[in-house]
Amino acid sequence: MRLTTTLLAACAALALGMPIACSKSKQETPALAPAPTGKGALQGPVQEVLAAPPYTYLRVKTAGGDVWAAVPAADIKVGAMVTVNVQLRMEKFESPSLHRTFDTLFMGTLPGAEGAPAAGA
């Protein structure tokens, strides 16, 4: 009975657009710095690069820890300092071309590439 009550309360909260606290603790992702797009930006050195045209996946070291970002295909090298103008945050994103699931993936563009389509768009 308690489970049913909890599920009904959660469904009602979701229907009303209210956030729900989960009992599982999740790894904190870094706060996004304001970006020209108004959505936020990730900034730091690139730790790993995975090319999967039409996207490039970057593991970026931020003050809050390493995070993954996807941008339109770009020639980025490990160690390069990047700023990713974030447009979308995805949880449990599955990349069919890489045969990999990212727990959290920030999709966006690199400065100067704002006219390019955002990854995942």
Tell me if 88 sits within 8 A of 100, measured CB to CB: no
Of 6, 8, 35, 34, which is closest to residue 22 (Cα–Cα)?
6
Tell me if 31 sits within 8 A of 64, measured CB to CB: yes
Tell me if 94 sits within 8 A of 103, measured CB to CB: no
pLDDT of residue 112: 74
pLDDT of residue 23: 40
Of 76, 55, 60, 67, which is closest to residue 105 (Cα–Cα)?
67
Question: Partners of 60 in the beta sheet?
Answer: 46, 67
pLDDT of residue 10: 43
Note down pLDDT in tens along the chain; length 121 residues.
Answer: 443 333 334 444 444 444 444 444 445 556 665 544 456 899 999 999 999 999 999 999 998 899 999 999 999 999 999 999 999 999 999 999 999 999 999 999 998 755 444 444 3
Buried b (16+ CB within 10 A) or exposed e, 75-114: ebeeeeebbbbbbebbeebebeeeeeebeebbbbbbeeee
- H helix runs in the chain, sequence order: 2-15
